């Protein structure tokens, strides 16, 4: 069943509720590893879908010499992104765009990427087909997505248990971290897919400091706190605290846990060249 496209407006409100740039540092190491796997070289064109403020993929790709377009459903992220780009000396374009309806021509980019971004578009099949459409024949797509079993996948599952059900046709974001689901999405589009499970290390002064930061700045948790009554919010926070304490590898009062994600590299063959 196709998702009700008004759910994207709901997604826009959720991700605009916080300040992504304030929590982007937890995951910005994911992008450079993805860019390495995509073999980014100077002069390539690259689209970053759901770029946020660009610290993970868009700005590092521009610094490698790529011609980058950073796109996101929430244009408010771009102010921080432009500041980051100026400080880094990176030149790139910022475009407000829906992952389900990308405003770019077929085959416009050598590389199409998203690090913990496009996976939140509610219609996975449409998001996949749009990403594949704008990648040129012979090019590559690269995605990094939380796995359902990992700590962040558990966090989203716990949070969703307290919230109203998503619109009909929506698919849980962490399914983009399930290899079988990914292959079912991408291989029918003619893409050659390889996947690897990796981890992103989250560090903070303490678990409580992590709670305070994400509750203030991470859009889904900001929106959940605004939606839930006090008892439900306290119950959710208790559940999340248990997840993070169980995963914490630090023994000195600080926080360090590994968030598992699936790195997906997909080749779009060029039938005219046989590659």
Q: CA 145, CA 197: separation in Å to the nearest integer?
A: 10
Structure tokens at 187: 């291989």
The owner of tokens 């983009």 is 176
Please check the confidence at residue 225 and state whether its pLDDT lies above 60. yes
Please check the confidence at residue 34 and state whether its pLDDT lies above 60. yes
- Model-level pTM? 0.94
> Tell me: the pLDDT tens digits for 169-185?
788 999 999 999 999 99
> Tell me: the pLDDT tens digits for 184-196?
999 999 999 999 9
Domain boundaries, the chain: 6-202+260-267
Checking phi first, is residue 116 left (phi over 0); if not, alpha (psi -120 to 50) or beta? left
- Give me the architecture of the 6-202+260-267 domain, per CATH: 3-Layer(aba) Sandwich (3.40)
pLDDT at res. 2: 52
Please check the confidence at residue 8 and state whether its pLDDT lies above 90. no
In this predicted model, which residue has the larger pLDDT, 243 or 1? 243
pLDDT at res. 1: 47
> Tell me: the pLDDT tens digits for 90-111?
999 999 999 999 999 999 999 9
């Amino acid at each position: 069943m196709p998702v009700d496209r008004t759910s994207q407006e709901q997604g826009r409100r959720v991700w605009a509720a916080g300040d992504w740039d304030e929590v982007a540092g937890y995951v910005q190491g994911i992008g450079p590893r993805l860019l390495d796997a995509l073999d980014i070289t100077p002069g390539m064109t690259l689209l970053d879908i759901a770029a946020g403020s660009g610290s993970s993929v868009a700005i590092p790709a521009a610094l490698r010499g790529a011609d980058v377009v950073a796109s996101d459903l929430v244009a408010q992220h771009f102010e921080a992104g432009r500041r980051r780009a100026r400080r880094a000396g990176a030149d790139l374009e910022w475009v407000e765009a829906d992952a389900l309806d990308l405003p770019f021509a077929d085959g416009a980019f050598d590389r199409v990427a998203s690090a913990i971004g496009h996976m939140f578009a509610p219609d996975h099949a449409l998001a996949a087909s749009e990403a594949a459409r704008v990648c040129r024949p012979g090019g590559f797509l690269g995605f990094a997505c939380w796995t359902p079993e990992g700590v962040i996948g558990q966090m989203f599952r716990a949070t969703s248990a307290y919230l109203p059900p998503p619109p009909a046709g929506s698919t849980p974001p962490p399914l983009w971290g399930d290899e079988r689901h990914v292959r079912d999405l991408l291989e029918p589009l003619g893409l050659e897919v390889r996947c690897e499970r990796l981890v992103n290390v989250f560090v903070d002064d303490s678990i409580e400091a992590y709670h305070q930061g994400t509750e203030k700045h991470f859009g889904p948790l900001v929106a959940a706190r605004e939606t839930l009554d006090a008892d439900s919010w306290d119950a959710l926070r208790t559940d999340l605290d248990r997840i993070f304490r169980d995963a914490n590898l630090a023994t000195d009062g600080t926080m360090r846990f590994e968030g598992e994600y699936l790195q997906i590299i997909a080749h779009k063959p060029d039938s005219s060249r046989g590659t």
